[in-house]
């Protein structure tokens, strides 16, 4: 499980129930380290935490997971780490479909990460209606339900969700009919915000094109490749390149030897993740 899930889960608990609660929660699950978005955790580690939070709050796991799913799509940390994905969509429906593709890509990029996979079908001529089909032994359909609500809220839309079938009630898969409709709308970007978003997106695309498919290159070598592509010097600052690499990694498009290297950040090597196959 991607570390971002664990980090934002703890943020959700802290904001929902208070910092004191988070301290008690960590003692309950015997967690002695701060969660890191860059780490990979086992499903069991996180699910134990969900059960512990349920007992401490007296709220069902489904209630907590639905609230957290909505929180995950709306909080600033997800907005930062998933900026490459979020910068390319402008509606709740588009975000759900992008999430599906991103989850499949994460599986290809790292066998250690097993995000939920769902598929969809059209159920009418209305492009804003779709049927989400979720099949996972983890039975985290409540999390998906909350994420759908969060996706709609992120873009100022209304959403109607009808549960057609659920694995928890004996069905072979969960089936959710989803209909998005206009709401208050998303606040319009200022010209400066739009310029900044597109500039970061262009840089991320160029970074991805400049990376090799194997063996990897360092940050300095990446900067040199981008310089040869006549990228402006201002955009070659390490902070901006690291940010682009980070966003691409959270989209499952870039891999690194961060877990093996011992030479420090500037000796770390990056390469493109495979985008086809299992």
CB 9 within 8 A of CB 70: no
- Residue with the larger pLDDT of the pair 274 and 212: 212
- The mean pLDDT value for 39-59 works out to 92
- Is it the case that residue 22 has pLDDT exceeding 50? yes
- Is it the case that residue 117 has pLDDT exceeding 80? no
At a CB cut-off of 8 Å and minimum separation 6, what does 185 contact?
155, 156, 157
Is 72 contained in some domain?
Answer: no
Closest residue by Cα to residue 45 from 99, 95, 90, 9 = 9
Is 73 contained in some domain?
Answer: no
Residue 150's φ and ψ, nearest 5 degrees, are -65, -40
The confidence band for 186, taking pLDDT boundaries of 50, 70 and 90, is confident
Whether residues 91 and 139 share a domain: the answer is yes
The confidence band for 33, taking pLDDT boundaries of 50, 70 and 90, is confident
Domain CATH code at residue 145: 3.90.1520.10
Is 154 contained in some domain?
Answer: yes
Is 70 contained in some domain?
Answer: no
Whether residues 176 and 203 share a domain: the answer is no
Domain that holds residue 43: 3-64
**Is the backbone of residue 254 left (phi > 0), alpha (psi -120 to 50) or beta?**
beta
**Which of 127, 148, 182 is at the close of a domain?**
182
């Amino acid at each position: 499980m991607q570390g971002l899930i664990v980090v934002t889960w703890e943020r959700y608990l802290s904001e929902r129930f208070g910092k004191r609660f988070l301290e008690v929660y960590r003692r309950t699950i015997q967690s002695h380290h701060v969660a890191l978005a860059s780490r990979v955790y086992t499903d069991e580690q996180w699910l134990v935490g969900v059960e512990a939070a349920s007992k401490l709050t007296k709220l069902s796991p489904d209630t907590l997971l639905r609230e957290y799913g909505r929180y995950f799509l709306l909080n600033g940390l997800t907005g930062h780490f998933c900026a490459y994905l979020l910068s390319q969509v402008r509606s709740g429906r588009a975000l759900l479909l992008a999430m599906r593709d991103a989850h499949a890509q994460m599986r290809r990029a790292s066998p250690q990460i097993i995000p939920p996979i769902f598929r969809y079908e059209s159920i009418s001529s209305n492009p804003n209606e779709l049927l989400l089909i979720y099949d996972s032994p983890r039975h985290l359909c409540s999390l998906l339900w909350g994420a759908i609500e969060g996706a709609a809220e992120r873009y100022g839309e209304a959403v109607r969700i009808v549960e057609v079938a659920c694995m928890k009630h004996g069905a072979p898969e969960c089936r959710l009919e989803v209909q998005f409709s206009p709401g208050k709308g998303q606040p319009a970007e200022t010209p400066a915000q739009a310029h900044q978003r597109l500039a970061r997106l262009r840089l991320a695309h160029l970074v991805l094109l400049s990376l090799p498919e194997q063996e990897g290159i360092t940050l300095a070598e990446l900067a040199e490749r981008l310089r040869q592509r006549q990228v402006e010097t201002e955009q070659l600052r390490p902070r901006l390149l690291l940010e682009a690499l980070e966003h691409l990694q959270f989209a499952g498009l870039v891999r690194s030897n961060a877990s093996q290297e011992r030479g420090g950040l500037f000796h770390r090597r990056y390469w493109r993740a495979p985008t086809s196959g299992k």
